[in-house]
Amino acid sequence: MTFMNMPNWLKQRVFLTPDRRALVFENKTWTFAEMYNETLKKASVLSLSGIKKGDFCGVLAANRPDMIFTIQALQQIGAVAVMLNSRLTAKEIEWQLRDANASHLLFDSLHEKKASAISGIPSISISSNSTDEQFTPRDLFSMGEICSIMYTSGTTGRPKGVIQTYGNHYASVTASALNLGLHVDDSWLCTVPLFHISGYSILMKSVLYGMEVRLVEKFDASVINESLQNGEATIISVVSAMLSNMINRLSGTYSPRFRCMLLGGGPAPVSILEQCKQKNIPVFQTYGMTETSSQIVTLAPEYTMEKLGSVGKPLFPCAVKIDGENEGEILVSGPNVTTGYLNRQEANESSFQDGWFRTGDIGRLDADGFLYVLDRRSDLIISGGENIYPAEIESVLTSHHAIREAGVAGVADEKWGSVPAAFYVANHPVTSEELAAFCIEKMARYKVPAYFIETAELPRNASNKLMRRELAARWRDDHAY
Torsion angle of alpha carbons 245, 194, 290, 295, nearest 10°? 60
Q: CA 232 to CA 188: how far, in whole Å?
A: 9
User: Is residue 331 a contact point for a second copy (CB under 8 A)?
Assistant: no
How many residues at the interface with a second copy, by CB under 8 A? 39
User: Is residue 355 a contact point for a second copy (CB under 8 A)?
Assistant: yes
User: Is residue 318 a contact point for a second copy (CB under 8 A)?
Assistant: yes
Query: Which SS3 state, helix, strand or coil, does residue 213 take?
Result: strand
Q: Find the binder of a second copy among 144, 306, 349, 350 (CB under 8 A).
A: 144
For the segment 154-213, give every residue that binds a second copy (CB under 8 A). Answer: 165, 167, 170-171, 174, 177-178, 181-184, 208-210
Alpha carbon distances (Å) from 335 to 23, 165, 319, 357, 383 = 28, 10, 10, 11, 28
| Pairing state between β 260-264 and 283-289 | parallel
Q: Which has the closest alpha carbon to 21: 178, 186, 227, 177?
A: 186
User: Is residue 367 a contact point for a second copy (CB under 8 A)?
Assistant: no
User: Is residue 33 a contact point for a second copy (CB under 8 A)?
Assistant: no
User: Is residue 317 a contact point for a second copy (CB under 8 A)?
Assistant: yes
| Minimum distance from residue 171 beta carbon to a second copy (Å) | 7
User: Is residue 12 a contact point for a second copy (CB under 8 A)?
Assistant: yes
Torsion angle of alpha carbons 153, 154, 158, 163, nearest 10°? -60
Nearer to a second copy, 49 or 339 (CB): 339
Nearer to a second copy, 53 or 183 (CB): 183
| Minimum distance from residue 351 beta carbon to a second copy (Å) | 13
| Minimum distance from residue 302 beta carbon to a second copy (Å) | 10
| Minimum distance from residue 177 beta carbon to a second copy (Å) | 6
User: Is residue 6 a contact point for a second copy (CB under 8 A)?
Assistant: yes
Q: CA 219 to CA 365: how far, in whole Å?
A: 34
Q: Which has the closest alpha carbon to 373: 307, 468, 421, 315?
A: 307
For 303-366, list the strands marked E by DSSP: 310-314, 319-323, 327-333, 352-353, 356-365
Instruction: Tell me which amino acid residue 172 is.
Output: S
Q: Find the binder of a second copy among 78, 154, 266, 335 (CB under 8 A).
A: 335
Residues in contact with a second copy by the rule CB under 8 A: 1-3, 5-7, 12-13, 15-16, 143-144, 165, 167, 170-171, 174, 177-178, 181-184, 208-210, 313-314, 316-319, 333-335, 337, 339, 355, 369
